[in-house]
Structure 1
Amino acid sequence: MKVPALFDGLLTNWAAPERRQDLIRALKEVDELAKTSHARPFSALTPAQRLDLLKVHEAEALRIDPTRKLSGVAAMMGGPAYVNPGYGKLRDLIILLYYLSEPALTLELSYVHTPGEWKPSIPVTPDTRPAGGGLF
């Protein structure tokens, strides 16, 4: 899937210096949390340990900060007022890069062309499939 390489490319070629620092800081925070709780870096954890660690971290990092009031363009473009906005952006970028990858678009997501009228209230069942292509 090459998400790490794509993310590295974003850090190198896209991110402004301040954004780059925020993203690297968020990565280091996750790695430090792994070292504190498991005595080894995040990359050395099992998938189950990674998931457990991220669930705990996200519960705190993605809380909405009621004291952070956004207005104007920042309110429209800044995203939610997370307690840890650097981690929020890191998470968003990794998810976006994954779902723009060929395996995600061809194996997980599907495009179902539906001619005719649009029906906004379709029941969600086990047979309902996720749909890709509407990220922007």
Structure 2
Amino acid sequence: MTVDELRALVIECAGESVVREAEAVDQVQTHTVLANLVADWNAGKDFDPGVYDFLLGRIVLRDDDSPRQFGMLKQQAVSELQAIVIRTWLTDMSRGVAATVCKALAGLGYGAHISKKGFALAPLDITEAWNNLHPDEPPLDIVWG
């Protein structure tokens, strides 16, 4: 597999906007993420490890190139590309702005989210990501309305 082939699989799976958004934010990081996943795939990494392997962080080699394995590879690629966009958006966001966004969404009730070309962020997603990106600041908490 090549980076271009994985890029095409992501587009097939989640749409071109996921790849374009990540590339617009950080083209080098986007290529690195895809290249690392391709290297893992070509080395035979199992993208659907057993529960104990997953929990223990063990790298396991896959038995075959099943549709499930391809699906897990595509899912991981989409998640990592979306993470690039989310990190960039939330890194520069102040605690006050993040708290206001989360409070407004939480006030709308269960299922409220921000949708951004190819993915959605619920208040818990925003809070968790913001807290991880700003470890030196008091953590955000969600108060559901």
TM-score by length of 1: 0.27
Give the helix-richer structure, 1 or 2: 2
TM-score by length of 2: 0.26
